[in-house]
Structure 1
Amino acid sequence: FIFFRGKPPPQSVCNTTRPDGRPSSILIGGLFPESGTLANGGIPRASAFRIAIEDINDDNCLLPGTTLVGILNDTETSPVEGLRSFLYLADEGITGVIGAASSSVSRAVAVACPLFETPQISYSSTLSELSQKSTYPFFSRVVPSDAFQGQLLAIIANDLGWDRVATISTSNAYGVSIIEQFTNRASALSIAFLSSQTFPPDENEDSPLLEDAVRLTKSSGARIIVVAMVLGDAQNFLRVARRQGLTEYATFLVTDGVAQDALFEADDADELREAASGMIGTTPIEASGELYDAFVADWVTRDPSEYPGAGNDDINTFVPFTYDATYALAWALDRLVRKGIDVYNGTALLDSVQNGTNFVGLTGNVTFDENGDRSAIYTILNFYDSDDDATFVAVGDAEQGEIDYSGEPIIFRDGSTDPPDAAERVFVAYDDAQGIAMVALCCAGIVITILCTIRMMVGKNTPIIVYASPNFILLINLGIVIGFCNVFVWTGEPTDSLCLARPWLLVLNFVLIFGNLYAKAGRIYHLLHQRKSFVFKPIKDTTLFGYVCLYSLVFIIPLIVWTAAYPLEVDRSDDNPDNDKVNIKCSGDNAEVFLGLFLGLVGLSLIFGVFISYLNRNFHDFFSEIQYVGYTLYTVTITCCVVLPMLFILEDEPDAFYIVLMLGLIFANFATLLFLFTPKLYILVLHPSQNAPPTDEGGRLQTQRSALSVHQ
């Protein structure tokens, strides 16, 4: 094995030929970013290049009798330095060159390669522009073109139900090209763009340009951010995004330049892991199989002082691609040698590379298409910061637009496997001001109702409670408590269970109160209109309960049908006026039909309530029960007439809809509590002496209809 960094001794590059016509040595070059923004990945790739040359020289089947000599130069992740490094290698007489890493450096080199007829094989440059053979005829790569990677990111976004995104990339060829491909495919999939930002590569984390790009991305309201840049830029982006609070909720959909474990090779690795949690990325298909396992076994035993980046099993994504790129060039040279063709014939070597390559490497079968590109096979990766050993894991594979999500489940930032929404989900949370206020009022209502019920049950044998019927009091108060409990199914992010509970609580609240009120009002109307007098005595409740049950069934039966046949489910509605937000609602098939049915039943009930209250308006029964029933019916009817139209108007304004609905429920239930039970508690607690039915001078019970007394 012979390997040189920089300029080799003159005698070592002498192209001597053996008697059998085989060259004794062949010189190839390697371009690696050992400094600059890609240094974290470039250093171990350079070691892979060296190990590949060692293995080739030890292989008696590949270039037998010929020593492969490598010269490695640092591109500094710069197109200018990369081109300078290549020109130096070309001047030394290399037959071919492995590299470069970044697309912008490879593009600069690819422009110069035809001048020297030097085939170039990149191990990680994915810029789609490099597939243009008329411009870059000597360029090949063992990784797929970004022409598919950008499209793949759009397909993943669509598969996960994300219909709006923001993009941020570096303004170099790599970032701009991928975002362009993503934009074209995403637009065809009806994905909207809330923001598209770029910043120059190699900006540090304090750069105003980077700060502004992140700030504008955040202000767009997007929850899904497509990121196209290389490692160093990605690290600085995550630092700024974390500082500005973007990483608290955003999900990053990233390219192969970001989706690498080397992303976390920094002093602030813990903070970077936290910022990247839930990240989904793409990378050329991961290396696997017996050959790769053997390579890993060798890699972990290497001395990192001699082979920087080696010595552990944390292998950079493009290390095996570097190894395969070196082998691809070696096999191409071997074919020329065996045919007796001069290995310095650049055109012949190019043909051997692009048309003759077909071998099984660490990354699978290596071949090139007519553009010098590797087949577009990608692994889809997911990163979730669950522990100190968190790493990118494979969740699926993609080939030519077909995705197989058969790997590990995707875990998102919140630790769940449910994809987050692409826009801010609008609903009233428990920690919102309106949520806090309404929950507090309803909880107070529940407590007050329970205390009132307890006090009235303590006096259940007294005349005022007996006349009102303890059973009816319990049922009405149960309805009131259920009414206040509505706040718990209307506050917080809706779920399918909460959606199912909403109509049930509203219906039970209504029928338990109104069914019993109608029974009481109807009973009094019947007694006062059909009889001249009556003796005060406890009223049997069974008949009235039967009527209440029949009344309830009118609501309950269609509600059961609705729940069973067309259950309400959580739905996202795009009718929010802000493009970066979606309303989270409950909806279902035929929901409008059932809603119309219930509104009709409620309307008829309210009309009946108002009618019977009007008929009873001049009657004064014991303890003025009928008047308080009438006040309750009038108040609730007026409340419904005001609130229901407002709810239809405010349907697309979640906060206002919630406030109006809750205030309507709170007011109606408190009014029922006030009119029906406050007078009873007033007598029970403050004036127990009045807790007796009115009697005439002879001690007989009496009631009045206006000024007319009816006696028995």
Structure 2
Amino acid sequence: MIHTGPELLISQLNDVSQGMGAENSAHSDSFATVEMICNPGGDRHHSRAMRPCAPVELLIMAGPGLCVKLSTIWRAFLLMRTVVDFALPQETYAPHSIRTEGHLTLGGLFPVHARGADGMPCGDLKKENGIQRLEAMMYALDQINQDEILLPNITLGARVLETCSRDTYALEQSLTFVQALITKDTSDVRCTNGEPPVFVKPEKVVGVIGASASSVSIMIPQISYASTAPELSDDRRYDFFSRVVPPDSFQAQAMVDIIRALGWSYVSTIASEGSYGEKGVEAFTQLSKEAGGICMAQSLKIPHNPKLEDYDKAIQQLLETPHSRAVIIFASEEDIRGVLNATKRANQVGHFLWIGSDSWGSKGNPILQLEDVAVGAVTILPKRSSIEGFDEYFTGLTLENNRRNVWFAEFWEENFDCRLLSASKREDTSRKCTGKERIGADSKYEQEGKVQFVIDAVYAMAHALHNMHKDLCPDHPGVCPAMDTAEGKILLKYIRNTSFNEYKIVGQWVENLQLRLEELQWPDGEQEVPISVCSLPCKTGERKKRLSYVLLTGIFLCYIITFLMIAKPDVAVCAFRRIFLGLGMCISYAALLTKTNRIYRIFEQGKQTVTAPRFISPTSQIAITSSLICVQLLGVLVWFAVDPPNTIIDYDEQKTINPKLARGVLKCDITDLQIICSLGYSILLMVTCTIYAIKTRDVPEDFNEAKPIGFTMYTTCIVWLAFIPIFFGTAQSAEKLYIQTTTLTISMNLSASVALGMLYMPKVYIIIFHPEMNVQKRKRSFKAVVTAATMSSRLSQKPSERPNGEAKTELCENPAADPMRKGAVEKQRQTDRDMRASAGIPAPPAVPMHSRTVESIQSSSRHDT
């Protein structure tokens, strides 16, 4: 697919009071693959591997008779867990995870809950970013496991953890994924009974989907659906990381372009503390400096674990520069909502002009009950399409059929504002849930913006595993030992070479075509539009009109023979007379015969097959013409051999009664029979060419030389029919020599003039006097016509009963090309009009031309992403 850069959607909040196919694929128009689509410059996104610590031995008693010696990395793991545990507040929150069985396990990291307040690691449930994205992964896994072609005989399981929108908590959770990679040294360890230690090996996670935050990265192949921090493009630090969304640098450039388009020159920025917000604002600041014309008024940062005072302070700082109403906000959902609330508390509704990043996008949660503050906000998000299959899946979830999601009961309470149990954490409502509520019917539902990217990430991982299985286990059903022990780097190689096919809109047609040629992609990576023409247009001096040159040469020789016929005879002149007497006509008619024969063979074979006939190329035409001319030259050579040219003095031409007055005439030794034989072959070519001209008289006008050639041959035949009686009728005349010579030269000159005038003069006239008409005519005997009804039996059909509710488009034969067909069409039309009149049906209205979308199958990924 030809990418000139990632495609972003720009949306504006109006004043309101309140990918693969749809089923088996979820590829977006621009980002339906890993990293390279989002970062055309070639940067790759990777993760940082953990470094081993100094050798330390640690023995843990695992039970009676069971002891375990852990290696260096295991020790490091426990230390990291301890550090994280102390870093997090000790409270009653009980972490959960989703575990589904499978031959291969994919990990998942999702922000199911918001960042907690007052020392709590997790806060309120995130219905859109959390639950919908999580269920998108489960939906994609269900679709893949049901697919008999993708990963046959292999089931993908899941181990889904939540991040609580906090990097430290996400780090603690992600350590679960690396337990199976830790090497345990048991060489020096024996249990009390002398037996070697026994370990319960944790499940191996082959790849991770996530995370949403940019600061979470581990040493397992990871495909993120929402991490957009630019530093993740550093392949030296994040060599296991890939993503299906563009980095922030692209939306920062989009923001700069929007501000310049709106004519704003004085703006402020707000960023959440952390990689996403700070790097996004940094990219915007740098790009705005390079673009010029944009001044920065304030650059504020919302700290981790902010309080209400922090948001109020940020708004007060923005108000210190009242002329800077435009505010660029790179922040998390919680911080966006906090800023909007602070704006409302400061009674500044309508003052600020918000430009939001993709974390705001088109989500409803950040502006819930704050729509009046956010009216007019312009937000950016990666272009994506809604997955219809997911809508059906998600709205069909109930408490009974979705027991695998440990957070679904909490979501149910939050979504329907009810309580499932008396011990429920919800204290703001006494309404009990019945379990019969339905998503979308009893609550508002809209597909979250990055659901598609989650599905993209899962399918990218599945395709990579599928390709790896084909290479490592070619004849082994299921997971073979080679694949089971494969390292993450091997899978990473396959992830970076995963490609998808999809439809991408590259233009539209509304009364005229708008086509973006630069976005078209062709097989084999071709950049230029492939060629599909009858013949390539010729460059200057390359028209390849070789037969025209041959014909002009023959016409020129026909004129030259006049001077040879009246020249003083000698051996050389007589030799040239023999050569050129029939050669000029032979060359002319050989060229015309080759042309008419070619046209005839094309249409005759076209009646039987679509295959082009043989020998119709310019080279073949020259070869055929040369063969016909060689026959004439061969006859002349035989003539030279049998009767060498010489001159004679003929006294019979000037006989007198008085011998003393007799005078001889010097002439070439050529008899009348020899002249006729020399011209006979040319006349045979002329007659044959005339026959073909008659046969090709009804060809389409696209072959615009057929009719002029026909007229030329008809006129030439008349000229030579007049020549024969004059030439032979004067055989006994005293002026025989002069009459025959004059008749011969005039006939040849007339033949040449007829060909020159009928074949070339019209073209010269157009070129000189009407150059605007010097274009190729393209007419078709078939035309597409739009009809409201095609048969009288369909007159009673309503538009809704027709396919797609549209008027039918048919390809009908042009009646003008066939008089009989024209009469049949007129008769059918009259019948239709009579039936309408008898049935009381009005004449059908004109059918409007509807907008049509032009689509081209594109590959939405690049290799080595």
- Shared topology, TM-score over 0.5? no
Q: Which has the higher contact order (CA 8 A, sep 6+)?
A: 2
TM-score (norm 1): 0.44
> Which structure: larger Rg?
2
TM-score (norm 2): 0.37
